[in-house]
Chain A
């Protein structure tokens, strides 16, 4: 299975901060990488697909980049509603595998 190493596992940030989360794949996955946001008690919500494509309805402050083995999710200006846990998911080969998650907390 492809291992996804996500970092950091947790972070504290303030409203307005620029936030970057990284996922590294144990082998090349082209651009088969999605990012999800999960709030407590809620279903994961897809933010980014194909590494850098923004899901319809997702604010433009979210962006994704990368290809191969290194990927990043960036929130350009953190908003109160963005405090949540973020997961990357590779779907280049079966089984799909998630990163371990990054919890973004209020500083």
Chain B
């Protein structure tokens, strides 16, 4: 069974750094893109970016370019989403997703369980 298991909820202060993780299992981790989706409290779903763990090719949606860093460690089948300096507006649920298909037409399935990030002073 294909599974994505994300790291646990985080509570951070503005200005702190953070790295959350997403571990894939049940499939060839290096053969599928992994994406990240943000959902702010009470709001909709936003695509943040995507990485191909096989060669670390990474693309960002324009709204998130420069705001976050996506990376992967294929040796442990884990993708990461990180911030160097959190803001209160980064408070959200973050989902990782496996992308079935190529980068242009692939669709997200399955989804991780989500990581809630709360940034508050």
Which residues of A come within 8 Å of B, CB atoms? 1, 32, 34, 36, 43-44, 46, 49, 87, 89, 91-101
Contacts and interface: CB of A to CB of B under 8 A. Distances in A.
Given A94-B104, A96-B47, A101-B44, A46 B61 contact: no
Chain B contact-residue range equals 20 to 34
Per CB-CB distance, the 8 closest pairs between chain A and chain B, nearest first, are: A98-B45, A95-B61, A101-B44, A91-B107, A95-B47, A43-B111, A100-B44, A96-B47
Contacts of A97: 47
11 contacts: A36-B45, A43-B114, A44-B45, A44-B95, A89-B108, A91-B108, A92-B104, A92-B105, A95-B59, A99-B44, A100-B44
B106 interface: yes
B103 A46 contact: no
Contact of B59 (A44, A91, A94): A94
Contacts of A36: 45
Contact of B107 (A49, A87, A100): A49
B62 interface: yes
Interface of B: 35, 44-47, 49-50, 59, 61-62, 95, 101, 103-109, 111-114
A98 B47 contact: yes
Contacts of B103: 94
Nearest to B102: A94
A89 B97 CA distance: 14
Contact of A1 (B62, B95, B113): B62
Contacts of A101: 44-45
B105 A32 contact: yes
Given A93-B104, A101-B44, A1 B111 contact: no
Contacts of A93: 104-105
Contacts of B44: 87, 98-101
A58 to B, nearest CB: 13
A101 to B, nearest CB: 5
A46 B108 CA distance: 9
A96 B108 contact: yes
Contacts of B45: 36, 44, 87, 89, 98, 101
